[in-house]
Amino acid sequence: MKYKIDVVRIRENSITLNGWVLGKNPDSRAAFSVEDERHQPVDFRYVPTRRDDVSQIYFKKVYDRDFGFDIQFPYERGKNYYLIIRCEGRKAVVKYNEELIEKRSSVAYKRVQKIKDLMNMETVHVAMDFWKENGFKALVLKSKHKLQGLDNDYDYGEWYELTRPSQEELERQRQEKFPVTPKFSILVPAYKTPERYLKELLESIRSQTYGNWEVCIADGSPKGESTERVLKRFAQQDPRFKYVILGENKKISGNTNAAMEMARGDFILLADHDDTLTENALYECVKAINGDPEIDVLYSDEDKLDMDGQALFDPHFKPDFNPDLLTSVNYICHLFVVSRELAKETGGFDEAFDGAQDYDFIFRCTEKARKIHHIPKVLYHWRCHMNSTASNPESKMYAFEAGARAIKAHFKRQGIEVDSVEKGVDFGIYHTRFHFDEEPLVSVIIPNKDHRGDLELCLSSLLDKGTYKNLEVIVVENNSTEPETFRYYEELKEKRPQVKVVTWEKGFNFSAINNFGVRFSKGEYLLFFNNDVEVIEPDVVREMLGYGMRQDVGAVGARLLYQDDTIQHAGVVIGFGGIAGHTFIGLHQAENSYFHRAMCAQDYSAVTAACMMSKRSLFEQVGGFREELAVAFNDIDYCLKVRALGKKVVYNPYALLYHYESKSRGLEDTPEKVERFNREVARFIGYWPQIVIGGDPYYNPNLTLRKSNFALRDLLKEKIGEPYNLEVYLPYMEPEVKDEVCRIFEQKTGRKLAES
């Protein structure tokens, strides 16, 4: 017999236990009893629950059995109680009292328990598969990251409790009067909904601190299985609850459209029949709408809610609107709000996309919205259960195929041709291959100083291994001293006619060297390459061109790995490390990143010029790389100049290369270099104070800037809007720049910035 108690909660005078139990035989049934401290029987409520995840782990397939349980029994404080579990002739006795429950709630106990939880058959199976596929070193690294994750400053449940609005704040919200008071129509398609879950949803709506709303429920359940009894009671108590019993299942799109037909609000909000909203959800939406009347679409962050409705986990803190991330995964999901006028204009939900109907609807709404606003707060709790697409392979495939069609339809409406939309790193993650008939000339610019071996490997991987052939390569010789370097240049003249070597005769300045190299190029597209990169994915240039040829894209970056297959670059976030830094550094390429972000094509504020493509026309329009930034942040600055023109900067994980830059290489190792670095950072801040201080729109203010792994923000050390170590660079700024930076900082944070 194996068993586990996942959740223990005391609520007033009762205890609730959630967990699972199974024997060697999947047909075995468990029996439960509860005793008090005198070992007398105690009445209890038992509800069997599905646990397909447990079935999959221990039996390697999903059985139609209820391996889970929900047990509740009366509880008197200060006394002991015992849960007895019997299965296949074995017996387990679990003791409960206040002291034990308090101990099990402590941070230390939870961390030990998390480690114990990892020691199960699932971990063994996953570890063995990972070892076989990626090697022992990769397994050790992944295990190290797992253990580090257990020692985070906060468990999410604790973090949420510390950041959620207080009762005083919620009461203040109830009293607040807005100039504009739109009505929200909350659409709920119901189908065979458990009454308990529906009640929790409706109660969460009734508890909203903003009151101008209506609920529109269309129940498509079979006859005799509708939720009319519950709905009728809520409607009698409050006329804002409206419902219709359809008498038949019109599928999720049809049921939602039926709910939409009832709506009379200014905005519609989509809610699943078993999820819940936070009390301040509508208030935050109204606050945003009052701030900008052109907002047509809003979405928020979200987390998951366990079956018992008490534990919160797996928070998804999202970026501001990110169109290319949306074509990689439906990251918007919940909470989603759209003006009713726009929803009607799009034609509502299309049953041709059932399984991904919300994905298709979100595409069509965001394509036509005047403004799209992201609220960086958790306003929606998504109930996680075993029948969701997260655990049902058949549902995964059904939803995946519908999602792929939704993406193709989106690009077609945008006038962008695609060859295919394929499965990415997991179901629900998509890899789009774009179509292009012509193969334009791409000019590859490679600065080089000695390091013949690196350059030779770089060129051979690009020209021999790479599938794209319409290339010219401009090697910019930069003060090499080794004779073998120049002998290699002579070999290139004979063996590789598409390679041209030009000589930069001044001192090192990365920006000036690349600008110089561009002058000798002829291509419509420029591909900036370090001399120490090696192509892994043969289609790397095609992958980058697919995005680079789009009119709305100004620059494209790649996924770069260190030699040990850990991530060196997967996009850039303004604010990491104080100014700007790469995401997911040191994560093994086979490990899961935060919501698979390292493996999703998406828009970022910047990418590294170690491998970056841009249109020549845009390069010339923004004046190339800024030569005042000789070493630091010149590529980040270039990307921000491109974005200032309204163009996107896209990170494409399927353009994959090694970057042999040393992990331990210090950026600056002499007082002179430190001085120069600080001056360049100060210049960069002066060019872009709004984003440095205001925050990166493609990141989330609830996540830390001190690590690159998208961990929760440290509530004690990190205040929103306060960049790390900004004071250090003030002495290096010109007076007018310093004044502007200090003004913006005070405006954003409410406090003055002092030199350090």
Position 106 scores a pLDDT of: 47
Distances from the Cα of 178 to the Cαs of 91, 207, 268, 292, in angstroms?
A: 61, 19, 19, 13
Q: Fill in the amino acid letter for 625.
A: F
How confident is the model over 698-712, as pLDDT tens digits? 999 999 998 889 999
Q: Fill in the amino acid letter for 408.
A: K
- Label residue 151 by pLDDT band (50, 70, 90): very low
Q: Which has the closest alpha carbon to 542: 636, 657, 439?
A: 439
Other Cβ atoms within 10 Å of 298 Cβ, number: 25
Q: Which has the closest alpha carbon to 549: 460, 667, 470, 445?
A: 470
CB proximity list for 142: less than 8 A, separation 6 or greater: 130, 588, 590, 591
Position 121 scores a pLDDT of: 55
- Residues 708 and 336: their CA atoms lie apart, in Å, by 28
- Label residue 385 by pLDDT band (50, 70, 90): low
- Which residues, listed in sequence order, are joined to residue 4 by a DSSP beta bridge? 20
Distances from the Cα of 567 to the Cαs of 142, 510, 711, in angstroms?
A: 13, 23, 17
How confident is the model over 489-517, as pLDDT tens digits? 999 999 999 999 999 999 889 999 999 99
- Residues 440 and 470: their CA atoms lie apart, in Å, by 7
- Residues 741 and 286: their CA atoms lie apart, in Å, by 31
Position 63 scores a pLDDT of: 83
How confident is the model over 570-591, as pLDDT tens digits? 999 999 877 899 999 988 888 8
CB 554 within 8 A of CB 642: yes
Other Cβ atoms within 10 Å of 355 Cβ, number: 22
Is the pLDDT at 718 greater than 60, yes or no? yes
How confident is the model over 629-667, as pLDDT tens digits? 988 899 999 999 999 999 999 999 999 999 997 543 444
- Residues 604 and 653: their CA atoms lie apart, in Å, by 12
Q: Is the dihedral of CA 698, 701, 705, 706 positive or negative?
A: negative
Distances from the Cα of 139 to the Cαs of 271, 406, 412, 583, 656, in angstroms?
A: 40, 36, 42, 21, 21
- Residues 188 and 255: their CA atoms lie apart, in Å, by 8
SS3 440: coil
What the block records as the tokens of 538 is 């043969």
Structure pTM?
0.81
Is the pLDDT at 150 greater than 50, yes or no? no
- Label residue 392 by pLDDT band (50, 70, 90): very low
SS3 737: helix
Position 500 scores a pLDDT of: 96
Distances from the Cα of 89 to the Cαs of 23, 65, 85, 411, 603, in angstroms?
A: 10, 19, 10, 60, 58
How confident is the model over 436-482, as pLDDT tens digits? 989 999 999 999 999 999 999 999 999 999 999 999 999 999 989 99
DSSP type of residue 588: B
Integer-rounded Cα radius of gyration of the chain:
29
CB 458 within 8 A of CB 529: yes
Consecutive H or E run containing 103:
helix 98-104
Of all residues in the chain, what percent carry a pLDDT higher than 70?
88
How confident is the model over 365-380, as pLDDT tens digits? 999 999 999 999 999 9
How confident is the model over 339-365, as pLDDT tens digits? 999 999 999 999 999 989 999 999 999
On average, the pLDDT of the chain sits at 87
Terminal-to-terminal C-alpha distance of the chain: 62
DSSP type of residue 597: G
Position 591 scores a pLDDT of: 84
Position 523 scores a pLDDT of: 96
Is the pLDDT at 390 greater than 50, yes or no? no
Distances from the Cα of 310 to the Cαs of 66, 93, 457, 580, in angstroms?
A: 21, 25, 56, 38
Position 531 scores a pLDDT of: 94
What the block records as the tokens of 195 is 């009454």
DSSP E strands, 235-370? 241-245, 267-270, 276-277, 295-305, 312-316, 336-339
How confident is the model over 157-209, as pLDDT tens digits? 888 888 999 999 999 999 999 999 999 999 999 888 888 889 999 999 999 99
Q: Fill in the amino acid letter for 12.
A: E
How confident is the model over 30-59, as pLDDT tens digits? 999 999 989 999 999 898 887 766 777 778
Q: Which domains does the chain have, with CATH numbers?
A: 2-105 (2.60.40.10), 167-406 (3.90.550.10), 442-738 (3.90.550.10)
How confident is the model over 265-274, as pLDDT tens digits? 999 999 988 8
| Cis preceding-peptide flag for 335 (omega within 30 of 0) | yes
Query: Among 142-146, 222-226, 416-420, 704-708, which range has the highest average pLDDT?
Result: 416-420
Q: Where are the alpha helices (DSSP H) in 428-578?
A: 452-460, 483-495, 510-518, 540-548
Q: Which has the closest alpha carbon to 421: 403, 436, 439?
A: 403
Residue 541 φ then ψ, to 5°: -70, -40
How confident is the model over 232-257, as pLDDT tens digits? 999 999 999 999 999 888 888 999 99
Q: Where are the alpha helices (DSSP H) in 553-633?
A: 616-621
- Label residue 143 by pLDDT band (50, 70, 90): low
Position 101 scores a pLDDT of: 53
Is the pLDDT at 18 greater than 60, yes or no? yes
How confident is the model over 286-311, as pLDDT tens digits? 999 999 999 999 999 999 987 766 67
- Residues 337 and 213: their CA atoms lie apart, in Å, by 13
What the block records as the tokens of 571 is 């996009």
Residue 496 φ then ψ, to 5°: -130, 90
